[in-house]
Amino acid sequence: MRRMYAMAMRSWTKGAELERVELPTPEPRAREVRVAVHAASVNPVDWKMRQGGPLRLAARAIRTFRGPRGPIVLGVDFAGVVEAVGAKVKNLTAGQRVYGGTNFSRGQHGSYADTVVVHADQVCALPDAVPFETAGAMVVTGVTAWMSVSEFRPIEKGRRVLVLGAAGGVGQLVVQLAKRTRGADLVAGVCSARNADLVRGLGADEVIDYTTGDALERAQAHGPFDVVVDCAGGYKASRCRGLLAPGGRHVMVAGDSPAAMAQVVVPPFRSRAILGKPTHGRLKAVADAVAAGQVQVAIAERVPLADVEAAHAKSKTGRMTGKIVLLPR
Ligand SMILES: NC(=O)c1ccc[n+]([C@@H]2O[C@H](COP(=O)([O-])OP(=O)(O)OC[C@H]3O[C@@H](n4cnc5c(N)ncnc54)[C@H](OP(=O)(O)O)[C@@H]3O)[C@@H](O)[C@H]2O)c1
């Protein structure tokens, strides 16, 4: 049987390192595809799963019930070439360029590997204009940003939007999608002063520096907002709702602690926590925007997959303004 290479943990023990492992390459089942990975990338969820807390608990419980057994391969984002398709997959063929995301809750290995096997509805054909490295860096961030601007309180012409954490992986895409694809009238981005030019360059009309004062108080000058998207965490939901126009909505992207979640499951239900789940339709919307040049994906570094441990350490600083791309080949 063919073997695949992955970076994986041997157990869920806190501090367990990511090490090189070889695993049997799964054959795709009827509705699955096997993809040769050319690029993957790091998302905060990857290293949060290694720490204590709700994410690790959930991931561990899901794996216990759904598998797979053996080493734990982390990672969601990938881009690559279809190697094989299951009997019932009609829309994809071997040799096609695709990108997509793995799904723990479907019992799949993650994308820190040279090969992934996922359901066909978790990938999307990749336009020639989008390189693998870009595509492998826009799955979780892209899909989450797309959901933030289009699925709860769809942003459209005339709307005013506030993006907290505008310089991060998700925030950068929210700013660009809101302004350039959804036609928001005003986008205000909250970031530190060193990233002000970056955020302005992405299309933000106003930039608020959170390091020299209360960002939410300053944001009032540009509101009220139809949508407040929190991609940073640490901002109180009730204060975010206080900046909303009538009918406005607060979208919580960051904030995976039980305390943060508790703030959005209480009335008046104008807040929603979203979970960026890669589906064909969402992936296509992001790919189209990137292929059309409306949205750019910042890449901070490209490193061999074997260096993922160092990549996690960098991502953990919370200061990244571009994605770390992992190259397995
Ligand atoms: N719900 C979901 O499905 C989902 C999906 C993706 C990500 N997330 C979560 O969303 C968060 C962001 O993810 P990401 O991939 O964008 O992370 P990232 O790229 O690592 O974001 C880092 C950015 O956050 C900014 N930042 C840090 N503290 C801030 C603050 N108090 N106010 C404003 N900006 C601040 C930093 O900018 P400065 O250096 O300018 O401070 C930095 O550029 C993470 O907590 C992640 O787990 C959730």
106 alpha carbon – ligand 1 mean position (Å): 26
pLDDT in tens, 191-223: 999 999 999 999 999 999 999 999 999 999 999
Q: Are 74 and 112 in contact (CB under 8 A)?
A: yes
Last residue in a domain, options 232, 251, 273: 273
- Shared domain for 20 and 133, answered yes or no, is yes
- Shared domain for 201 and 88, answered yes or no, is no
Q: Give the C-alpha separation, 289 to 53, whole Å.
A: 35
pLDDT at 269: 82
Query: What is the helix (H) or strand (E) element at residue 299, kind and residue range?
Result: strand 299-304
Contacts of 71 (CB under 8 A, 6+ apart): 6, 8, 9, 10, 21, 23
- Shared domain for 42 and 95, answered yes or no, is yes
- Shared domain for 85 and 129, answered yes or no, is yes
Looking from the CA of residue 233, the nearest atom of ligand 1 is 45
pLDDT in tens, 56-109: 888 999 999 998 999 999 999 999 999 999 999 999 999 999 999 999 999 999
Q: Which residue has the tokens 């690559």?
A: 80
Query: What is the helix (H) or strand (E) element at residue 32, kind and residue range?
Result: strand 32-41
Q: Give the C-alpha separation, 169 to 245, whole Å.
A: 27
Of 265, 256, 323, 296, the C-alpha closest to 51 is 256
Using DSSP, state whether 52 is helix, strand or coil: coil
**Biggest CA-to-CA distance, the chain:** 63
Looking from the CA of residue 323, the nearest atom of ligand 1 is 19
The number of helices, as runs of H, and strands, as runs of E, in the chain is 11, 16
168 alpha carbon – ligand 1 mean position (Å): 5
- Shared domain for 128 and 56, answered yes or no, is yes
In the chain, how many domains are there? 2
pLDDT in tens, the chain (329 residues): 789 999 999 999 888 999 999 999 999 999 999 999 999 999 999 999 999 888 888 899 999 999 899 999 999 999 999 999 999 999 999 999 999 999 999 999 999 999 999 999 999 999 999 999 999 999 999 999 999 999 988 999 999 999 999 999 999 999 999 999 999 999 999 999 999 999 999 999 999 999 999 999 999 999 999 999 999 998 999 999 999 999 999 999 998 777 777 777 777 789 999 999 999 999 999 999 999 999 999 999 999 999 999 999 999 999 999 999 999 99
Looking at ligand 1, which residue's alpha carbon is closest to its atom 25?
Answer: 165
pLDDT at 267: 76
pLDDT at 53: 83
pLDDT at 280: 97
171 alpha carbon – ligand 1 mean position (Å): 7
- Domain holding 225, by residue range, is 141-273
- Shared domain for 108 and 88, answered yes or no, is yes
Task: Please indicate whether residue 234, judged by its CB atom, sits closer than 6 Å to ligand 1.
Answer: yes
34 alpha carbon – ligand 1 mean position (Å): 31
- Shared domain for 135 and 20, answered yes or no, is yes
pLDDT at 27: 94
**Peptide bond just before 278 cis, omega within 30 deg:** no
Task: Please indicate whether residue 196, judged by its CB atom, sits closer than 6 Å to ligand 1.
Answer: no
- Shared domain for 191 and 93, answered yes or no, is no
- Shared domain for 146 and 264, answered yes or no, is yes
Task: Please indicate whether residue 140, judged by its CB atom, sits closer than 6 Å to ligand 1.
Answer: yes
- CATH code for the domain of 180: 3.40.50.720
Of 254, 250, 162, 174, the C-alpha closest to 210 is 162
152: number of CA atoms within 13 Å, CB side? 25
Last residue in a domain, options 273, 289, 305: 273
Bridge-based pairing state of the strands 123-125 and 97-101: antiparallel
Looking from the CA of residue 253, the nearest atom of ligand 1 is 1
pLDDT at 259: 74
**Which residues are 327's β-sheet partners?**
304
DSSP alpha helices (H): ranges in the chain?
Answer: 44-48, 54-66, 132-135, 140-150, 169-176, 196-201, 215-219, 237-241, 258-262, 280-291, 308-316
- Shared domain for 179 and 299, answered yes or no, is no
- Shared domain for 93 and 148, answered yes or no, is no
Task: Please indicate whether residue 315, judged by its CB atom, sits closer than 6 Å to ligand 1.
Answer: yes
Last residue in a domain, options 258, 273, 288: 273
- Shared domain for 265 and 155, answered yes or no, is yes
- CATH code for the domain of 28: 3.90.180.10
Best residue for ligand 1 mutational test, from 152, 209, 253, 274 (most atoms within 8 Å of Cβ): 253
pLDDT at 49: 92
Looking at ligand 1, which residue's alpha carbon is closest to its atom 41?
Answer: 192
pLDDT at 258: 73
Q: Give the C-alpha separation, 95 to 175, whole Å.
A: 34
Task: Please indicate whether residue 172, judged by its CB atom, sits closer than 6 Å to ligand 1.
Answer: no
